Amino acid sequence: MTPRPEISVVLVNWNTRDLLRTCLASLRAHLPPLAHEVIVVDNGSSDGSAEMVAREFPEVTLVQNGENLGFGRANNVGMARARGELLLLLNTDACLVDGGVHALVERLRLRPEVGLIGPRLVGPNGTLQASAHRFVTLGRLALEELGLYKLLPHRRVAEMFLGGYWPHAGERGVDWVSGACMLVRRCVFESTGGFDPTIFLYGEDEEWCERIRRTGWSVLFSPVATVVHLRHGTADRYLGQDVRVGRCLRASGELLRRRQGNLAAATAGVVRVVGALLKLSVFGARRLVRGASVEGDEARWLARTVLVHYWRHWRSAGLGA
C-alpha cells in the first residue's frame, strides 16, 4: 500500500494547459523530499489539459469533471480525494521557485492554533502582490474608496487594511489570505466543509477564512515562503477584464451583505460609485496637467468599469428606469 503523503497538493484547472504544465513542473522540482501527492481537478477543459497531465505527469492523480464546477466546488472535490494531513491549494497560474513550502509546513506544525497559512505572493518580475487582507466592512470601504485613508498615518492605514498598504515583511495573524496559495489542515477542511459551493469564482477564499476563524482557528500569513503568481492572468484571458471586475464587485457586495446586512451592502454600492466619480475627476485633471501615465489610465479605466457595473446592476433592479 502506498504510504500516506505528508501533504496533498490540489490544483483546479480549466483550459490553462500551458500554465498547468509550468506549475506541475515547479512542484516536481521543489516539493521533494517532502512526501506528497498532487491532484489535478480538471473542470471540463477542452484544450488538451487532461491529456497533457496523463502524458507528461503520470505521477499526478487526475480527476476529470464533465463541466466547470467553479473554483470552490472543484477544490472541495480535490480535498475530499486527498490523503495528506496537510492540503496545499495552488492556482495553476502560480508556481514554486524554491523549497519555501517546506518552511510553510514547519510553521503550521509549530503553531497548533493556526488552521490555515498563506505565503508571500509576487509577480513574475518580483513585484509584491497583496497576499494578506482584512475583511471588507462598510467603514473600511468608505475610507478607501473616498480617499479618506490619506488623512491617517501610514502605519494606521497598513494595520487597518493590510493588502497593498502593508509590506508583508513579517509573520502575523490576518483576516484572510489569497486563495492563490493556501496551506490548510485536513481537519479544518473536514470541520468546515471547505469552500462555499454556491460561490463560483471570487470571494470564496475570503468567505472560507471567515468561517475558519469563527470555528476557533486562526489564519496566518508567513513570508517564509514565496510563490510566483500571475494574478488575474487566466481570468482576464477567458473572462475579460470587465467581467472579472464585475464578478469581484458582486462577490465583495455579497460578502458585505452577509457580514453587515442589506443596508450596508446597498450603501457600499453608492460609496463605490462616488469613489469612482472622484477618481475620474482627479486622474482626469492630472492627465490634462501632467499628461498620460500608466497609473492614471489604469485608475480611470477601473473607475469607468465600476460605474458601468453599478449602472447595469441598478437598471436590472429597476432603479435606473
Residue spans per domain, the chain: 7-131+168-229, 237-316
Please state, in angstroms and as integers, the Cα–Cα distance from residue 245 to each residue in 252, 302, 303, 313, following that order: 11, 8, 11, 13
CB 92 within 8 A of CB 228: no
The model's pLDDT over 177-190, given as tens digits with 9 standing for 90+, comes to 999 999 999 999 99
Report cis status (omega within 30 of 0) of the bond before 32.
no
Band (321; pLDDT cuts 50, 70, 90): very low
Question: Average pLDDT for residues 308-320, to the nearest whole number?
Answer: 79
The type of residue at 114 is: V
Residue 269, SS3 per DSSP: helix
The residues facing 132 across adjacent strands are 177
State the CATH class of domain 7-131+168-229: alpha beta
For residue 239, the model assigns a pLDDT of 63
Greatest mean pLDDT range, 19-28, 277-286, 309-318:
19-28
CB 224 within 8 A of CB 179: no
Band (288; pLDDT cuts 50, 70, 90): confident
For residue 320, the model assigns a pLDDT of 44
CB 273 within 8 A of CB 310: yes
Question: Average pLDDT for residues 291-300, to the nearest whole number?
Answer: 82
Question: Average pLDDT for residues 160-178, to the nearest whole number?
Answer: 96
Band (2; pLDDT cuts 50, 70, 90): low
* Distance (Å, whole) CA 207 – CA 203: 6
Band (291; pLDDT cuts 50, 70, 90): confident
For residue 114, the model assigns a pLDDT of 98
CB 13 within 8 A of CB 21: no
